[in-house]
Amino acid sequence: MSGQTVPVDYSGHMLDLDEDEDLEVFSKKAPVADGNPMPNSPSSMVNQFRLEEDEPQDVNAKDLFITVDNPESHITAIETFIMYRVLTKTTRSEFDSSEYEVHRRYQDFLWLRSRLEETHPTLIVHPLPEKFVMKGMVERFNDDFIHTRRKALHRFLNKISEHPILSYNQHFKVFLTAEELTSHRKQGPGFLSRMGETVRAVANTVRGLKSRPEEFAAMQEYVDDFSNKICTVDKVTQRIIKEEREYLDELKQYGPMYGQWAESEGNLAEPLKAVASCVERCGKETEEHAHHLSEVLVPTLHEYILCAETLKAVMRRRDHIQAEFEAKNEALASRKSEQEALQEEVDGLSDRMEGSNEALKGDWFRWKAGMRTDLKSAFVSSAEKNVDYYEKCLAVWESFLLSQRAESSDQQDGEDVS
């Protein structure tokens, strides 16, 4: 797993990592209860936890554990919003304490992420769940929406905590530890506004990029293709869920008809009622299956759709950095005066470009490995659930057959039942 080692030439981002092997291993926090009665979500959470634990983190034995839970509605005169509890447990020396409990709202997460991107423009910062859900009339504070968002926020913080560089970011530490975030948020201009400036600046000088280095060209192509594919997989999955739900609706009408028929029958009533019960039980399994898809596969796919967008943005930023350098470089070539000052600028931009490229290259491998792990795990889990579904239905019908064989006093020949 080559992606796991920390690339050594992160100029300016070099960190001393804690190589202490005797780290106390924290027991995994119990799966967060979020008031959702559905039985599957805790186990899927545990799966995610387990996998992150199993991943050989090399020098980064996991020493930072974060959970997001307890969504609570806060109502003020001006607005209503949800506060999430963020619990941190750590052994890192940079932290004054080993446990922290803070409360954060979605805006705070947005702030954190923009800070991270601004500090590390060509690192791949895991995406946040979307601000709004586009389709349908989903209320902002509908339970499903909050449940999904909370899980995604939890994923986000854990992804950051696993990142060899980002997890040591100052803003990240503040986010996890500060009681009050508002004072910290006011510092410095937002990256986005700076980004706007850069875009305009580049646009003004634009000749387009001279040429993208080959590896980044390949990366760009991959990102575009990947984005397409993952979107399609997501669409297909959503469609399957929809079809399954419609199938379930029909089953719910179909099953009881056997029961109704049984009411006008004598000897036939018992097997008819048994079939009605079988259909009902299979219906329950179908419901559970559709739910599992929604809880495990869909969020993961969705996350990687957002990742694809993040990657595109990262590539754009890298391109801009290169463009800025090239623009200044050309200015240097054409100007006669101010050569020294310009040369210094150009050198600075050149260093920045090289640093950014290296950072991206390193993080790219890391990201790909993570993507592979996450998607593989989600697909494996879904396939397992399918097997489980069919096994349960099989058991239902087999028990029916058994009951009928026990019932029949006339001997059925072996041949009329395969």
Partner 1 sequence: MAEDGRDELLGTDGDSEPLVAGRSLRHKGVEQGCSLLRRMEICVAEAEKRSGRNTVNMQEIFTVYLIETRSMEAVSEGHNSAPDSLWRRYSEFELLRSYLIVTYPHVVVAPLPEKRAEFVWHKLSADNMDPDFVERRRVGLENFLVRVASHSVLSNDKILYHFLTEEHGWREVVYETGFQAKAESRLRALSATFRVRNTDKRFMDMKHYSDELQSHTSQLLRARARVADRLYGVFKVHGNYGRVFSEWSAIEKEMGDGLQSAGHHMDAYAASIDDILEEEEHYADQLKEYLSYAEALRAVCRKHELTQFELEMASQDLISKKQQREELATGIVRTFSFKGMTNKLFGQEAPEQREARLKLLEELIAEGEDTVKEKTVECQEHVERAWVDMQRFEEQKDKDLREALINYAVMQISMCKKGIQVWSNAKECFIKM
Q: Which residues bind partner 1 (CB under 8 A)?
A: 222, 225-226, 229, 232-233, 236, 239-240, 243-244, 246-247, 249-251, 253-254, 257-258, 260-261, 264, 266-268, 271-272, 275, 278, 282, 372, 375-376, 379-380, 383-384, 386-387, 389-391, 393-394, 397-398, 400-401, 404, 408, 410-413, 415-418
Report the nearest approach of partner 1 to the CB of residue 224 (Å).
10
Supply 97's token pair: 């304490």
Q: In the β-sheet with 64-75, what is the strand arrangement from edge to edge?
A: 64-75, 80-90, 99-105
Cβ distance to partner 1 smaller for residue 86 or 241: 241
Cβ distance to partner 1 smaller for residue 73 or 260: 260
Report the nearest approach of partner 1 to the CB of residue 128 (Å).
25
Cβ distance to partner 1 smaller for residue 349 or 378: 378
Q: How many helices (H) and strands (E) does the chain have?
A: 10, 3
What does the alpha-carbon distance between residue 310 and residue 244 come to, in Å, rounded to a whole number?
Answer: 32
Cβ distance to partner 1 smaller for residue 224 or 354: 224
Q: How far is CA 79 from CA 74, 82, 356, 368, in A?
A: 8, 10, 40, 40
What does the alpha-carbon distance between residue 388 and residue 292 come to, in Å, rounded to a whole number?
Answer: 11
Contacts for 409 with CB less than 8 Å, ≥ 6 apart: none
Report the nearest approach of partner 1 to the CB of residue 243 (Å).
4
Report the nearest approach of partner 1 to the CB of residue 230 (Å).
8
**Taking Cα atoms as reference points, which of 19, 30, 14, 111 lies closest to residue 59?**
19
Report the nearest approach of partner 1 to the CB of residue 159 (Å).
20
Bridge partners of residue 80, in order along the sequence = 75
Three-state SS for 180?
Answer: coil
Cβ distance to partner 1 smaller for residue 91 or 373: 373
Report the nearest approach of partner 1 to the CB of residue 195 (Å).
29
Phi and psi angles of residue 247, each rounded to the nearest 5 degrees, phi first: -60, -45
The answer to whether 15 and 168 have CB atoms below 8 angstroms apart is: yes
Report the nearest approach of partner 1 to the CB of residue 253 (Å).
6
What does the alpha-carbon distance between residue 378 and residue 103 come to, in Å, rounded to a whole number?
Answer: 30
Report the nearest approach of partner 1 to the CB of residue 415 (Å).
8
Report the nearest approach of partner 1 to the CB of residue 250 (Å).
5
What does the alpha-carbon distance between residue 36 and residue 69 come to, in Å, rounded to a whole number?
Answer: 12
Cβ distance to partner 1 smaller for residue 108 or 374: 374
Instruction: Put residue 122 in one of left, alpha, beta given phi > 0 → left and psi -120 to 50 → alpha.
Output: alpha
What does the alpha-carbon distance between residue 330 and residue 326 come to, in Å, rounded to a whole number?
Answer: 6
Cβ distance to partner 1 smaller for residue 23 or 383: 383
Cβ distance to partner 1 smaller for residue 106 or 365: 365
Give the CA count within 13 Å in the CB-facing half-sphere of 246: 5
Cβ distance to partner 1 smaller for residue 160 or 219: 219
